[in-house]
Amino acid sequence: MTMILADADIQSIWLTVRLASVVTVALLILGTPIAWWLARTRSRLKGVLGAVVALPLVLPPSVLGFYLLLAMGPDGPVGQLTRVLGIGALPFTFRGLVVASIFYSLPFMVQPLQNAFESIGERPLEVAATLGASPLDAFFTVALPLARPGFLTASILTFAHTVGEFGVVLMIGGNIPGVSRVASVQIYDHVEALEYAQAHRMAAVMLIFSFIVLLALYVWRPGTMKTTRKD
């Protein structure tokens, strides 16, 4: 790899992978209850929350980034909260980038999970309840295992989408090597500096990565896996 890519390139790729991993794990924890609620509720707020979750799909990343920057700024509500908590300012830090990416990739985690939970239906959970399982017990022993293909799809999509983000990163993180200069920003820098050879190599890495991810998603269907996991 070092033969092909410069150290700065590798640093940006490593940062990207680290960011995407942290965001995927964080969204698994945050997105699962949201998806579960959306899949099961009959509340009128379902439509509102569903629309909020889907916003990043249609919003220009710069718009999302702009509002997040304001919110995280010293006068913004998030900024004031983080100052009180002693975390410090979030913009132009890796932490800020994680927070912004969580919002940006939210629908890619929540929507596949919501679909997976909805497709399970009520019946398996009702059966579990009549067999003595509490709602939480039934969630972990029935709903989660049955939604496993949805979790795989959601994780892959979230990871890949975070790897590909650009606009939000520039707005929130800027372009600081090792902190916020992710692969997509690095490619942009190469092009700006007319370093087309380096840009080509980085772009090829990104292209191959994206293709492999999608290939995995389309060819290796998690739903058809043999599932005989122990209770």
Partner 1 sequence: MKLSLNVRKSFADFTLSAGFTVDGDRVGVFGVSGSGKSTLVSMLAGLLEPDSGEIVLDGECLFSSAAGINLRPEQRRIAMVFQQHCLFPHLNVRNNLLYGFRRCPAEYRTIDFDTLTGVLKLDGLLERSVTNLSGGEKQRVALGRAILANPRLLLMDEPLSALDDSLRFQIIPYLRSVSEQFGIPYLFISHSLVEMRLMTDSALVFEKGTLTGQVSSEQLARDRMGQSQAGYINLLKLGSPTAISGMSAYPWGASRLLLSAGTERETSMAELSSKDIILFKQHPEAISARNLLECTVRSLFCSGRKTGVELECAGNTLIAEVVQDAVDELGITPGSTIYAAIKASAFRLLPG
**Rounded distance between C-alpha atoms, residue 94 and residue 15, angstroms:** 9
- Smallest distance from partner 1 to CB 148, Å: 8
CA distances from 149 to 27, 33, 116, 164 (A): 16, 17, 8, 23
- Smallest distance from partner 1 to CB 131, Å: 3
- Smallest distance from partner 1 to CB 162, Å: 29
Structure tokens at 158: 């979230």
**Rounded distance between C-alpha atoms, residue 69 and residue 62, angstroms:** 10
Nearer to partner 1, 73 or 149 (CB): 149
Size of the residue set binding partner 1 (CB under 8 A): 23
> Measured in whole angstroms, how far is the alpha carbon of residue 134 from the centre of its chain?
30
Contacts of 80 (CB under 8 A, 6+ apart): 74
Interface segment toward partner 1; rule CB under 8 A; list 12-20, 86-94, 126-134, 171-179: 126-134
In the list 2, 29, 194, 230, the residue contacting partner 1 (rule: CB under 8 A) is 230
> Measured in whole angstroms, how far is the alpha carbon of residue 2 from the centre of its chain?
28
Nearer to partner 1, 128 or 172 (CB): 128
Is 75 in a helix, a strand, or coil? coil
Site track for partner 1 across 130-169, x = CB under 8 A? xxxxx--x---xx--xx-x---------------------
CB atoms within 10 A of CB 107: 23
- Smallest distance from partner 1 to CB 230, Å: 6
Site track for partner 1 across 106-125, x = CB under 8 A? -----------------xx-
Nearer to partner 1, 145 or 164 (CB): 145
Nearer to partner 1, 50 or 149 (CB): 149
- Smallest distance from partner 1 to CB 117, Å: 15
Residue type, 81: L
Checking phi first, is residue 88 left (phi over 0); if not, alpha (psi -120 to 50) or beta? Answer: left
Chain positions contacting partner 1, by CB under 8 A: 123-124, 126-134, 137, 141-142, 145-146, 148, 226-231
